[in-house]
Amino acid sequence: MTPVRVLSVASEIYPIIKTGGLADVAGALPIALAADDVEVRTLVPGYPDVMEALSGAGAIFEWPLFFGGASRLVQGSCGELKLFVLDAPHLFARPGNPYLSPEGVDWPDNGLRFAGLARMADNIGLGAVTSFLPDIVHAHDWQAALAPAYLHYSGRPRPGTVITVHNLAFQGRFPRSMLEAIGLPPDSLAVQGVEYYGDIGYLKAGLQFADRVTTVSPTYAREIQSDEGGMGLGGLLRTRSGDISGILNGIDTSVWNPATDPQIASRYDAGGLDRRAANKAALQQRFGLEPRADAFLLGVISRLSWQKGLDLLLEAFPALLGEDIQLAVLGSGDADLQERYRGAAQAHAGKVGAVIGYDEALAHLIQAGSDGLVVPSRFEPCGLTQLCALRYGAVPIVSRVGGLEDTVADADGAGGVATGFKFAPVTTDRLAGAVLRAHAAFADKPAWRTIQRNGMSTDVSWRNRASRYADLYREIVKTRAAPPSADTG
C-alpha cells in the first residue's frame, strides 16, 4: 500500500472538545486509519481546552497578524492523535462551547474564526510545514469548508481535497461584505464560486470545490440530493452526484464495550444478558422510576432539537404511558423541549425521568440499562447513539431516515437478523406504533434476546469504515497523478 498523508481539519475533536458526532468522527477516524497506512494530522482551533490537552507542543510558525491578531501554528499530540493547533487567542481563547457565547448565541465573528481555520489548512496544504506535506486535505463540515476553496483560488499545485458533510443543516452562511476580510478574490463571489443566495456560503464553497464529497451514510447521501433533504444545496449536490459517497460512521468499540465499561453498574456480554438487570435497576433509581424489572424501559440520549423529533415522543405519551412503559431521557438543547421534558417527568413521576444536561457517564448507563433506545429523528445523517445501543443490547427504535435506516434492521422483514424497530413516515402515530410493536416483542423473552444478540454482533466499529476513507484518498491521489486529467488548479 502506498502511504497517504492526510490533513484532517475539524472544529471539534473527541476527547478534547465535543458538541456532537463530528467530534467523535474527528477523534476516531485518524486512529483507525493508521491500519490502512494513512498518516493523519488534524488541524484544530486553539480553544483553551485544546491548549490544555496538548502535550509535547512546539510552535512551528508565528505571525504577528493573522486574521486580525497574533497567531501561532503549534504541533503536538493528545493520546494517539497528532495535532496541528491554530493558536490564535483573539479567535479561539474562549472557554465553553466552540460556537456559542455564554449567552448561548453564535459568536458574532464565527465567519472570521473558521475562515482562519480553513486558511491555515490551505497554508499547510500548500507546503507551509515542510515535514508534513499532505496528499489530501480533508475538511469536516462548514467550519473547515473554505479550505478547498482557498486551495482552488491559490492557483498553485495543491493536494487533493475531500469534504465530509456531518449535518447539512449547519451551513455557515455569512455576509458578502466579509469577502475581503477572509481573503477570497472578488471573482469568487459567483454562482460557480462561494456565493450562496447573495451571501457567502462556507459549506457551499466546500461542496463546490472539493474533489470528492462524502457524507456519513448511504441513505443520507441520497437524501441530501433531493430538494427537501438538500436544504438549499440539493441542486449543487445533484451536479456533484458522481463525486458523492456515503460512508457510515463507526464508534470507538473500546470506549463503548459493555464487557469492560467502568461507567456502568454491571458489566456483561452477549452471553450474559441477565447481568443487564443491575444496570436497569441503577438507571431506574437515577431517574426516579419505579424499580420494576419487568417494565419496558426506554432510553433517550440526544440533543433536544427539532431534528431529533423528540417533540413527537412527548406527543406519543398518551398512547404509551397507559402501557407498562418507562422513559429515561438525557438531553440538552432547545429551552422549550427542556421545559417540556422536565414538566413530563413531574407530571408522570415514576414513569418518566429527565436529566437535562450533557453527561457521558450517564449516557453509558442508559445504554447498558434500558431495554430500548428511541431515536425518532426527522433527519439523521448517521447517528451514533443507535450504534452504541446495538453494541449494548438496548434495542433501537428509530425512524427510517439517513443512517438510522442503514444501521438498524427491522424486526418485520429482516428474517433472522432483526436488530430493532423502524417507522416511517416520521409522525407521532408511527412512532407510537413502533414503540408498541417493540413492547409486544419484549414480552417474548427468547425472541427479544435474539434481537439483542443480533445487535450486539453487528459490526459498529471503525475498522471497515475507515478503510473506505483510505480507498477514497488513494483513488483521489491516483486520479490527480494520472495524466491527462491532472488538475492542479
Instruction: Round to whole Å and give the CA distance between 346 and 351.
Output: 10
390 binds ligand ADP (CB under 6 A): no
Q: How far is the CB of 199 from ligand ADP (least distance, A)?
A: 24
* Closer residue to ligand ADP, CB minimum distance, 290 or 360: 360
Distance of closest approach, residue 221 Cβ to ligand ADP, in angstroms: 16
How does DSSP classify residue 323? S
Q: What is the smallest separation between the CB atom of 20 and ligand ADP, expressed in angstroms?
A: 3
**In terms of CB distance, is 193 or 383 closer to ligand ADP?**
383
List the one residue out of 77, 401, 360 whose CA is nearest residue 226.
401
15 binds ligand ADP (CB under 6 A): no
Q: For 9, which DSSP code? A: E
Which one, 332 or 479, has the nearer CB to ligand ADP? 332
Q: Which stretch binds ligand ADP (CB under 6 A): 18-26, 82-90, 114-122, 267-275?
A: 18-26
Q: CB of residue 305 vs ligand ADP: minimum separation in angstroms? A: 8
Q: How many residues bind ligand ADP (CB under 6 A)?
A: 17
CA dist list (Å): 129 to 12, 73, 166, 320: 22, 10, 28, 59
Measured distance CA(426)–CA(355) in Å, rounded: 25
Q: Which is nearer to ligand ADP, 143 or 161 (CB)?
A: 143
Site for ligand ADP contains 68 (CB under 6 A): no
| 330 binds ligand ADP per the rule CB under 6 A | yes
Please pick, from the candidates 15, 20, 48, 183, the single residue that binds ligand ADP as defined by CB under 6 A.
20
Q: Which residue is nearest to ligand ADP (CB)?
A: 21
Q: Pick from 173, 201, 164, 226: which is nearest to 379 by CA?
A: 226
Return the number of the residue (115 or 408) whose C-beta is nearest ligand ADP. 408
Q: Please report whether residue 193 would count as binding ligand ADP according to CB under 6 A.
A: no
Complete DSSP assignment for 116-185: HHHHHHHHHHTTSSTT---SEEEEEHHHHTHHHHHHHHH-S---EEEEEES-TT---EE-GGGTTTTT--
104/322 with CB nearer ligand ADP: 104
Of the two residues 44 and 73, which places its CB atom closer to ligand ADP in the complex?
44
CB of 383 to ligand ADP, least distance (A): 4
Return d(Cα 145, Cα 365) in angstroms, integer.
Answer: 36
Give CA separation, 270 vs 79, 273, 333, 367, 452, in Å. Answer: 30, 6, 34, 14, 8
DSSP output for 193-216 = TTEETTEEEHHHHHHHH-SEEEES
Measured CA distances, 298 to 22, 270, 292 (Å): 25, 19, 13
Distance in Å, CB of 220 to ligand ADP, minimum: 11
Q: Which of 77, 97, 257, 332 binds ligand ADP (CB under 6 A)?
A: 332
Give how far Cα 252 sits from Cα of 147, 307, 391, 408, Å: 28, 24, 11, 18
Strand partners of residue 41: 7
**Closer to ligand ADP at the Cβ: 91 or 248?**
248
Q: Letter for the amino acid at 245?
A: S
Instruction: Indicate the DSSP class of residue 267.
Output: -
According to CB under 6 A, which residues from 237 to 266 bind ligand ADP?
Answer: none
Choices 115-123, 226-234, 309-317, 359-367; region in contact with ligand ADP by CB under 6 A: 359-367
9 bridge partner residues: 43, 139
**DSSP H or E stretch at residue 416:** none
Would you give the binding string for ligand ADP spanning residues 22-41, x where CB under 6 A is met?
Answer: --x-----------------
Kindly list the strands in the beta sheet with 69-78, ordered across the sheet, starting from the edge strand earlier in the chain. 55-66, 69-78, 81-87, 38-45, 4-9, 136-140, 160-165, 212-215, 244-246
Q: How far is the CB of 408 from ligand ADP (least distance, A)?
A: 13
Site for ligand ADP contains 164 (CB under 6 A): no
What minimum distance in Å lies between the beta carbon of 88 and ligand ADP?
26
Choose the stretch contacting ligand ADP; rule: CB under 6 A; options: 19-27, 177-185, 232-240, 421-429.
19-27
Cross-strand pairs, 40: 6
Tell which positions 295-324 bind ligand ADP, by CB under 6 A: 301-303
331 is an interface residue for ligand ADP by CB under 6 A: yes
Q: Which is nearer to ligand ADP, 21 or 125 (CB)?
A: 21
Strands 69-78 and 55-66, bridge-based pairing: antiparallel
Contact region for ligand ADP (CB under 6 A) — 80-88, 200-208, 381-389, 458-466?
381-389
Of 360-379, binders to ligand ADP (CB under 6 A) are 360, 363
CA distances 414 to 182, 420, 451, 457, Å, are 51, 10, 11, 15
Interface with ligand ADP includes 359 (CB under 6 A)? Answer: yes
Total count of residues recorded for the chain: 489
**383 near ligand ADP (CB under 6 A):** yes
List interacting residues with ligand ADP (CB under 6 A). 20-21, 24, 301-303, 330-332, 358-360, 363, 382-385
